[in-house]
Amino acid sequence: MARVQTQVRNTAEGGAAISAHWMPVRPRLILASAFMLFLELALIRWTGSNIVHLSYFTNFVLLGSFLGIGLGFLRVSRTTRLPFYSPVALFLLVLVIRLFPVTVNRDNDEILYWTSLGTTGPPAWLILPAIFAAVALVLMGPAELVARCFPELPRLEAYRYDLIGSLSGIALFTALSFLGAPPVVWGVLALVAYAALLVSPARVRYA
């Protein structure tokens, strides 16, 4: 009983803290949902172009994203702190992949087969679980921000804005891909979204 009361109190405090956000709840929910889907698609696209193993295990990052989104929604009832860990995890993920990309070894002219493919960088048994865990940690942040908006709106209305935001995020990434925007543009947009959703003049507890 005490544990249930603590969770209820934490949820109420979280709702009070997030209500002090400078952005109204409806546009905030749309932005958070759009950012969550945009970031998921960007990670799938970018990691696949830098880690050759993900060209074959195409659902690896997607499954990590699903795990992170689920954990993010669950974490809301246990803390009132904003997910400042998410941009830090994203920065570290990008840094590691940039420093240790996994590409095909093209030092010779032999015919390449999947069973005898030589690669540079860390081995698959190390890099793939690390990326899976990092992607889950990154996506937990936007999922938390989405989940914090739901108690402030009627359920059907919250789902409607969540759907609008999700479709907007997919449409934005599709448009950027069609226009050939480089990954640095994706990163800039992610930073803007993080700043808009996490940085607030109001005093809120953060991690």
Is the pLDDT at 143 greater than 80? The verdict is: yes
Is the pLDDT at 171 greater than 80? The verdict is: yes
Is the pLDDT at 52 greater than 60? The verdict is: yes
Mean per-residue pLDDT, 126-146: 96
| Predicted local distance difference test score (pLDDT) of residue 116 | 53
CA–chain centroid gap for 190, Å, is 10
Is the pLDDT at 152 greater than 70? The verdict is: yes
Is the pLDDT at 63 greater than 60? The verdict is: yes
| Predicted local distance difference test score (pLDDT) of residue 20 | 66
Average pLDDT, the chain: 84
Which one is predicted more confidently, 121 or 76? 76
pLDDT band at residue 7 using 50, 70 and 90 as cut-offs: very low
Mean per-residue pLDDT, 36-55: 93
pLDDT band at residue 74 using 50, 70 and 90 as cut-offs: very high
- Domain layout of the chain by residue ranges: 25-100+121-198
CB 61 within 8 A of CB 54: yes
Look at 63-72, 91-100, 109-118, 144-153 and tell me which has the smallest mean pLDDT: 109-118
pLDDT tens-digit profile of 9-42? 444 444 444 456 788 999 999 999 999 999 999 9
In this prediction, what percent of the chain has a pLDDT beyond 70?
80
